[in-house]
A and B are shown apart, each in its own frame.
Chain A
Amino acid sequence: MTLFRAEWSRMGTYALLLALAHLGGLIFLSRMVDLGQQNLAVHWSFGATYALVGGLLGFAQFATYARPNPWLSLIHRPRSELAIAMALLGAGWLVLVLIVPLPIALTALWQETLTARVVDTRHWLLALAAWQIAACAYCCGVFAALAPRRFAAIGIVLLFWLINARATGGSMLVVQCLVLTWSAWMVAALFKANRERPRKLAVVAIAMPLAMATYFAALVAFAAVELIWIAWGTHPNNGGPPPGGHNEVEKATSQDRMLAALASSEHPDAPLLAEQVKLSAPVSIGSSLSRLPQWFELANVSPMEFDDERSGVRYVFSHDDGRLHGYRIRDGAAVGTVPHQFQHPPLPFGRLPGMRDGDAALVARGRVYHFESESGQVSLRVDLGDEALVSMAPVGEAYVALSDRALYVFDARPFIATLDVVAPRARLPLPGKYGDLSNLDLIELVDGHLLVATFGRLAHDALGAPPYQTAQVLRSDGTVDDIHRRAMSYDFGWLYRYQAVWLSPGLYTLRERAKYLFAGPSLESTAPAPVPHAVWALAMVLGLLAVLLTLWRLHANNGLRRWPWIVASGLFGLPMLIALWLIELDSETRP
């Protein structure tokens, strides 16, 4: 406790100044915009700033202790090493409480009590999330100060985990808590008198991120080689891509893509359809959503608000009660709540046919709502069940909606005539996973639509399906004619596509699992092709090589010390071997 107080007295004044600066910044920004309704990019910017502050604080605080004499003075006292670590880390974490979440909570309190802006539980939890991010980075900064330079920077791997994690809301808080625990464990592994080698059991805390960092470094090196390949001029993405491959199709115009899908078809209607494509102006349906909004998510995919320009009111969705809350744009005065309670968080979504000034369309997963400015009421207009609607666009006389599982065609007239739910005229199930869909092009026919779907978004990667195109006609009566399915060739060999796999199947699996840990439904799911046998064979050879080199490296050690490393090298391959080398490379073995 005395050490904790001593450390606190060292940093308290600076912490107070930083906290005031942070509070001032938040107050200024809150005067300009509603901070609770910013999109993911803004939240990331804030998160990155908090991580930077945390990381610098941890590094600066412990860099003063890292030299041999100060380290000796710190540790050589009648306290256990972990008690000393907890006192110092505790003081640092408390400083971060003052700097990061306290100003956020004070700002939220101000917004909640003195303004009509929506402040949900999730906004209060943002303070906790911000602290956890800063605390994770703080631990990584501490580790960077204490660890040998050869692996001091591995904390970045844990911060990358935070950036890449797909969990939201409370689940993301749990992920952050895991990362925080791991980063604290990393510090504990080295927080001992002799820092040359980590504590025996806690070596896992360093070995895993170090192996992952090595793995990422290798992938970055591969990317560097690819840049050289591009500069050399023979890369498939240079100039004209190889004929018949997915790159060629993705770079083509909508019309050329559709013609390419029909070119090799033996269907009797294919030549006629190709002629119609040449005479038409195809429409390309793109996705307007990258991620689905989730209940109680801490950050918004995009701002959950829209302006009713007719009445000068801004409506903001509240996760706490599932309703829209309005306030006047002019003076910020509250104007009440829209009674409709949404089943899923809605997002503003362009316009529907028949909408008047001030009206707005909102999409909430598979449902599209019409907000009527005059009545202040919300009407359900489209219901696709549990599918997730990602795009809606007019095509000729019709309206086409794309969900994560199917394409729907609607007549435009019922949208104008009534405020009832409009049933789709026709449904075409997507002939593949939405995550693989790179393009969806269509033209209007006399009695329906011709649709060409191109699946090859991740064909350059292990996650993607084998690239292919489908051409289908969706008749007005809802029937579907399959015209053609064309397999496209890969533009990259398996060695390139599966580099993340053969390098270390174990770390690849771990990376993907960590990314989607506690995550909700995603638009990113794909139908990956089976991993080729050659990839497994190469991975096994590299794994065996790693095991043999580990055996050679540790031939002088006893079994208890050797076997965990051998098993780890077998599971995670060469990156784990390099991790072993770097950890074991102490002052005695260094040349």
Chain B
Amino acid sequence: MSEVVIETRHLSKRFGSKFALDQLSLAIAPGRIHALVGANGAGKSTLFRILLGFLSPTAGSARVLGRDCSALTPQDRALVGYVNEEHTLPEWMRVSELKAMRQHEYPSWNSRAFDEVIGHYQVLPGQRVRELSRGERAGFNLALALAQSPQLLILDEPTLGLDVVAKRAFLESLMYSNATERCTVIYCSHQMEEIERIADDLIVLERGRLMSHSSPDDFCARVSHWICDIPFMGPEPATIPGFLMRQKLDGLHHYFVLDQGPAFAEFLRANGARNANCMPVSLDRAVNAFLAKNHATPTQSR
């Protein structure tokens, strides 16, 4: 395996006048579960399509497992698993038939990995794919993908539309599978509690640009949540260092700021705060605040 499983350099993709990816340079090390987050339109799916050779970049380069993405061979594809949010599978086929087909197609088929994952679900071999519930289909799809023994597994919002039980079953079957340990997983999701639970590495994309690449804990440590009591109006956002987001709840001002230490309390007091307390931030709120910073508002768009 090469030193990085995914490497992009100044990767750009333009659709008409809009850039879906903008000078994205990214290197993902092998192993572990890497979470990819970003608002809708951040360029996550476009990135996956380029990585798998289904879109050509406007500029820059992209490599997967050391191979240029535009020249992936069938052997390379055998090493990259992909699960999308629709869990696209041939609906007319029976579970056993589809499993047999994939087993025949993939030379490194791992039956134990398949059984390990599918054991979490009540899926019968004689059932047709169209007869499976959404959760069962997701589990079946994951089982197929892990049984391929991929070196890289890309999961693009795999739990979208699943209920709580199915979501938990999916995450457990992913986390506790031995096959997962042997490959690099790219997990794309909007569900921060999932990311918080499974991810070792967090990549934040915004408007096609790489905004952050660190562990989830490190990322949370960068974002701080300050609650203060300021009579009248607080400071103007433009004047707040590292400003991400502010809220006013029950007469108290909540400030989310990036890369600010205890000195930020002094800033707040200097702007009329009677007291200022720093609170721990969950990954969900940290990402939410981080992405809200540049979120287009009617004022901005004007």
Contact of B86 among A10, A69, A591 (CB under 8 A): A69
Of chain A, the residue at the smallest CB distance from B107 is A78
B15 close to chain A: CB less than 8 A: yes
Are A72 and B77 in contact, CB atoms less than 8 angstroms apart? no
Within 8 Å CB of A10, what residues of B? 90, 92-93
Within 8 Å CB of B15, what residues of A? 587-588, 590
Query: Whole-angstrom distance between the alpha carbons of A43 and B85 in the complex?
Result: 49
Query: Whole-angstrom distance between the alpha carbons of A77 and B106 in the complex?
Result: 8
Within 8 Å CB of B104, what residues of A? 2
Are B93 and A194 in contact, CB atoms less than 8 angstroms apart? no
The digit string for A1-15, where 1 denotes a CB below 8 A from any CB of B, is 011011001100000
Which residues of A (66-102) have their CB < 8 Å from a CB of B?
A: 68-73, 75-80
Of chain A, the residue at the smallest CB distance from B100 is A2
Most B C-beta atoms less than 10 A away, residue of A70, A78, A194: A78
Within 8 Å CB of A202, what residues of B? none
Given the interface pairs A73-B88, A193-B54, A587-B16, the reply to whether A2 lies near B80 with Cβ below 8 Å is no
Which residues of A (52-74) have their CB < 8 Å from a CB of B?
A: 68-73
B89 close to chain A: CB less than 8 A: yes
Are B82 and A6 in contact, CB atoms less than 8 angstroms apart? no
Are A3 and B77 in contact, CB atoms less than 8 angstroms apart? no
Q: How many residues of B contact A (CB 8 A)?
A: 36
Bin chain A's interface residue count: 20 to 34
Within 8 Å CB of B58, what residues of A? 588
Query: Whole-angstrom distance between the alpha carbons of A579 and B200 in the complex?
Result: 50
B84 close to chain A: CB less than 8 A: yes
Contact of A77 among B17, B70, B77, B85 (CB under 8 A): B77
Contact of B17 among A9, A73, A79, A591 (CB under 8 A): A591
B56 close to chain A: CB less than 8 A: yes
Of chain A, the residue at the smallest CB distance from B52 is A76
B97 close to chain A: CB less than 8 A: yes
Contact of B54 among A2, A3, A6, A72 (CB under 8 A): A72
Within 8 Å CB of B269, what residues of A? none
Which residues of A (547-591) have their CB < 8 Å from a CB of B?
A: 587-588, 590-591
Of chain A, the residue at the smallest CB distance from B82 is A76
Nearest Cβ in chain B — how far from A341, in angstroms?
56
Are A6 and B93 in contact, CB atoms less than 8 angstroms apart? yes
Are A72 and B49 in contact, CB atoms less than 8 angstroms apart? yes
B164 close to chain A: CB less than 8 A: no
A196 close to chain B: CB less than 8 A: yes
Query: Whole-angstrom distance between the alpha carbons of A5 and B90 in the complex?
Result: 12
Are A78 and B75 in contact, CB atoms less than 8 angstroms apart? yes
B105 close to chain A: CB less than 8 A: yes
Of chain B, the residue at the smallest CB distance from A589 is B16
Query: Whole-angstrom distance between the alpha carbons of A9 and B96 in the complex?
Result: 14
Are A2 and B105 in contact, CB atoms less than 8 angstroms apart? yes
Within 8 Å CB of A2, what residues of B? 100-101, 104-105
Contact of B97 among A9, A71, A193 (CB under 8 A): A9
B78 close to chain A: CB less than 8 A: yes
B55 close to chain A: CB less than 8 A: yes
Are A70 and B88 in contact, CB atoms less than 8 angstroms apart? yes
Within 8 Å CB of B85, what residues of A? 69
Within 8 Å CB of A79, what residues of B? 74, 105
Nearest Cβ in chain A — how far from B256, in angstroms?
35
Are A72 and B105 in contact, CB atoms less than 8 angstroms apart? no
B53 close to chain A: CB less than 8 A: yes
Query: Whole-angstrom distance between the alpha carbons of A194 and B17 in the complex?
Result: 20
Within 8 Å CB of A193, what residues of B? 52-54, 72
The digit string for B107-124, where 1 denotes a CB below 8 A from any CB of A, is 100000000000000000
23 contacts between A and B (CB under 8 A): A2-B101, A5-B101, A6-B101, A10-B92, A69-B84, A70-B88, A71-B54, A73-B89, A76-B82, A77-B105, A78-B75, A78-B78, A78-B106, A193-B53, A193-B54, A194-B54, A194-B55, A194-B70, A196-B56, A587-B15, A587-B16, A591-B16, A591-B17
Other 17 A-B pairs with CB < 8 A, given A69-B84, A72-B82, A193-B54 = A2-B100, A2-B105, A6-B98, A6-B101, A10-B90, A68-B49, A73-B88, A73-B89, A76-B52, A193-B52, A193-B53, A194-B53, A194-B54, A194-B56, A194-B70, A197-B56, A590-B16
| A interface list, Cβ under 8 A from B | 2-3, 5-6, 9-10, 68-73, 75-80, 193-194, 196-197, 587-588, 590-591
Query: Which 9 A-B residue pairs are closest in the complex by CB-CB distance?
Result: A78-B78, A73-B88, A2-B101, A193-B53, A78-B74, A10-B92, A69-B88, A2-B104, A193-B54
